[in-house]
């Protein structure tokens, strides 16, 4: 059953205005493409296409040889910023499905397919079209498309799994299991599933194993060996050294917030405390919005586009608050979380604010339902209710009032 739309012209205007910074960024990308900077204009999509192309053509060793990979890319597009294939072989299955296309065709097809899947999953969860469109054009979603990243896909899998858990536990578990293509965003969910729905947990485990097995069959053991011995250490090195800046500069996690003030070891300890706290909190959380925010906070490796899950949480909370009312400050908080990912390329300072906003959003998502104002309480069956919503004051005993 589809929910009744609460989308108003004012909300539509806010959603449209929030998209403007990303649209300006899109214009800059188009300008770069027209000037012949195709490799730079493709951004992270270049890695998506290159990984799929090389895996499809059985050139797996190039992915795990830094010099060979850079030489391959620069042979196509000249001098480029630092690039690295940073995904497990299971994600390579998706990239290889588009690797037969030319680079722009591959990345744009992947973007379109990811957005279509997200729309389908939200509709399957009973969300109206206005809700779906708002999430698709959220700044985090637009940034994901501009970077040719996988936030829409991951939100389909994680967000869809969370929203469908009560009604479709098998499908929900399978979606969450497939999200192991980017495991750092799903740290909160395994124990939550195990406690709330063992059936969903079993389907998640089965989907994850089958996906890893399919990658093993498709690309062979060297792909997994290369991931464990080259890719995984390289990504850990990004966190520990902050290099290259193209990867580490946009991090917005609790780790990234603490590191400039305390150094590596204290930042790792702080992120460990936050991640463990989020996993424990997730054990006792049933609210979808809260689980989405916990998933973001728990990840040490978080970028602006990864906040599409948080944008979905904001949409869910807005839907709830429009029906029940806002607490002081909540509209501003929701706006900042929603708008922030689009501002980050223009205002890098937002990276320091993002974890704080996520923590405040978590507090909003987990607050207990307050007592509704008296005027909004439904009248008991059979009781007289005036047009203003109040019951008439009964006359005292022995009163001379008529009736």
pLDDT tens per residue across span 149-172? 999 999 999 999 999 999 999 999
Q: Look at 102-111, 120-129, 139-148, 382-391 and tell me which has the smallest mean pLDDT.
A: 382-391
In a domain, 394, yes or no: no
In a domain, 382, yes or no: no
* Mean pLDDT of the region 94-114: 96
pLDDT recorded at residue 247: 63
Give the confidence band of 375 by pLDDT, cuts at 50, 70, 90: very low
* Mean pLDDT of the region 361-383: 58
**CB atoms inside a 10 Å sphere around CB 347:** 12
Q: pTM to 2 decimals? A: 0.87
| 380, pLDDT greater than 60 | no
In a domain, 225, yes or no: yes
In a domain, 263, yes or no: yes
Give the confidence band of 238 by pLDDT, cuts at 50, 70, 90: confident
Give the confidence band of 367 by pLDDT, cuts at 50, 70, 90: confident
Q: Could you tell me the CA-to-CA distances from 17 to 20, 22, 164, 268, 314 in Å, in that order?
A: 5, 10, 31, 37, 17
* Mean pLDDT of the region 386-400: 41
| 81, pLDDT greater than 90 | no
Q: Look at 42-51, 71-80, 325-334, 370-379 and tell me which has the smallest mean pLDDT.
A: 370-379
pLDDT recorded at residue 370: 41
Closest by alpha carbon to 6, among 328, 315, 326? 315
In a domain, 126, yes or no: yes
pLDDT recorded at residue 357: 95
The alpha carbon of 194 is separated from its chain's Cα centroid by a whole number of angstroms, namely 22
Closest by alpha carbon to 365, among 400, 305, 315? 315
Structural domain count of the chain: 1
In a domain, 373, yes or no: no
Residues 296, 274 contacting (CB under 8 angstroms): no
Give the integer Cα–Cα distance in Å for 310 and 318: 12
Give the integer Cα–Cα distance in Å for 175 and 173: 5
In a domain, 165, yes or no: yes
Q: Domain range holding 100?
A: 9-367
Of all residues in the chain, the percent with pLDDT exceeding 70 is 87
pLDDT recorded at residue 359: 96
Q: What is the mean pLDDT of the chain?
A: 87
Cα of first residue to Cα of last residue in the chain, in angstroms, is 46
In a domain, 219, yes or no: yes
């Amino acid at each position: 059953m589809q929910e009744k739309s609460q989308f108003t012209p004012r909300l539509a205007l806010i959603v449209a205005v929030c998209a403007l910074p990303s649209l300006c960024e899109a214009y800059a990308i188009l300008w770069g493409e027209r000037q012949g900077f195709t490799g730079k204009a493709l951004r992270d999509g270049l890695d998506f296409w290159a990984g799929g192309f090389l895996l499809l053509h059985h050139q797996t060793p190039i992915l795990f040889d830094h010099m060979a990979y850079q030489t391959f890319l620069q042979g196509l597009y000249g001098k480029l910023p630092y690039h690295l294939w940073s995904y497990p072989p299971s994600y390579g299955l998706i990239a290889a499905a588009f690797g037969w296309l030319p680079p722009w065709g591959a990345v744009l097809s992947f973007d379109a397919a990811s957005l279509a899947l997200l729309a389908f999953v939200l509709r399957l969860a009973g969300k109206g079209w206005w809700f779906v469109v708002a999430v698709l054009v959220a700044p985090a979603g637009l940034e994901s498309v501009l970077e040719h990243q996988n936030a829409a896909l991951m939100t389909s899998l994680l967000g869809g799994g969370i929203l469908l858990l009560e009604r479709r536990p098998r499908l929900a578990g399978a979606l969450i299991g497939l999200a192991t293509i980017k495991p750092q965003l799903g740290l909160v969910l395994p124990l939550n599933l195990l406690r709330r729905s063992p059936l969903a947990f079993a389907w998640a485990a089965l989907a994850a194993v089958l996906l890893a097995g399919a990658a093993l069959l498709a690309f062979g053991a060297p792909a997994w060996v290369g991931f464990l011995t080259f890719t995984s250490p390289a990504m850990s090195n990004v966190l520990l050294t902050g290099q290259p800046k193209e990867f580490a500069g946009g991090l917005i996690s609790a780790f990234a917030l603490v590191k400039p003030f305390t150094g590596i070891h204290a930042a790792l300890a702080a992120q460990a405390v936050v991640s463990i706290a989020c996993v424990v909190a997730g054990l006792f959380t049933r609210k979808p919005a809260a689980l989405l925010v916990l998933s973001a906070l728990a990840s040490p490796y978080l970028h602006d586009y990864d906040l599409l899950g948080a944008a979905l949480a904001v949409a869910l909370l807005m839907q709830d608050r429009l029906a029940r009312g806002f607490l002081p400050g909540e509209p501003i908080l929701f706006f900042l979380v929603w708008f922030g990912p689009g501002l980050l390329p223009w205002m890098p300072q937002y990276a320091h604010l993002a974890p704080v906003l996520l923590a405040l959003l978590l507090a909003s998502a987990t607050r207990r339902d307050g007592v509704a104002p008296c005027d909004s309480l439904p009248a008991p069956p059979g009781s007289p209710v005036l047009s203003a919503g109040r019951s008439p004051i009964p006359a005292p005993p022995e009163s001379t009032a008529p009736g």
